[in-house]
Amino acid sequence: MKRLILVLAVLMVASIFVSQQQVNLLNYELITYKVTTESRTAFVSLQFNPMKDGKYQAVYTVSFTVEGELDYEAFAVPYMYLMIAYVYNPAFLPFFQMIDLDNPSSVNLYGVKIIYEKDEKVGKYTGRRFSYYANDQKLFSWVVAKQIELPIKFEIPEQGYVAELVEFRKR
């Protein structure tokens, strides 16, 4: 019981710390990922247009090729949300912050493992690939580069989902 309370306390403190250092997507004009699933490839873009009074208009676009007939799945798959739900999830952020990109190593904490696998080139970027395991089951992998605060690649192997950064423009 004491161990559980200690883990929860550490996660709460880390979450507060991390929330202050979280990536602010509004600092970008445009973010585009190439997303591949088992059945299709799509290009997904998030564009943030400044408005008056400090507000932003967010524009989410998905482009893909239609073969034969248009199916409901093409509209139902939340391509970008799936990645953002993992990468910016407060439950995972403390573990992401434990990663040292200069000296990558594996992290093992109470059944959660983050394993450094290798350096990987994704498009024109090179980063370090890590995989996240819970109870020895690989949940997802991502590739990050020190000079870019966005993940340059993200994979959910069980779902056949891969997102690769194609373009981004900061303000």
User: What is the predicted pLDDT for the residue at 8?
Assistant: 35
The mean pLDDT of 22-40, rounded to a whole number, is 83
- CA dihedral 128→129→132→138, nearest 10 degrees, is -170
Q: Is the pLDDT of residue 160 over 90?
A: no
Q: How many CB atoms lie within 10 A of CB 141?
A: 20
The domain that holds 157 is classified in CATH as: 2.50.20
Q: Is the pLDDT of residue 14 over 70?
A: no
- Please tell me which residue, 3 or 140, carries the higher pLDDT value: 140
pLDDT in tens, 46-82: 899 999 888 899 888 888 777 777 666 665 556 666 6
Residues of the chain with pLDDT > 70, as a percent, come to 70
Q: Is the pLDDT of residue 31 over 80?
A: yes
User: What is the predicted pLDDT for the residue at 72?
Assistant: 63
How many domains does the chain fold into?
A: 1
42 within 8 A of 79, measured Cβ to Cβ: yes
> Which of 9, 5, 12 minimizes the C-alpha distance to 93?
12
User: What is the predicted pLDDT for the residue at 122?
Assistant: 92
pLDDT in tens, 1-13: 333 333 333 333 3
| Residue 158 one-letter amino acid | E
List the domain range (segments joined by +) for residue 77.
2-170
- CA distances to 31, 58, 73, 118 from 21, rounded to whole Å, are 19, 22, 35, 25
Q: What pTM was computed for the model? A: 0.74
Q: Provide, for the chain, the percentages of residues in helix, strand and coil under a 3-state DSSP scheme, each rounded to the nearest 5.
A: 25, 45, 25
User: What is the predicted pLDDT for the residue at 68?
Assistant: 74
Residue 128's pLDDT band, with cuts at 50, 70 and 90, is very high
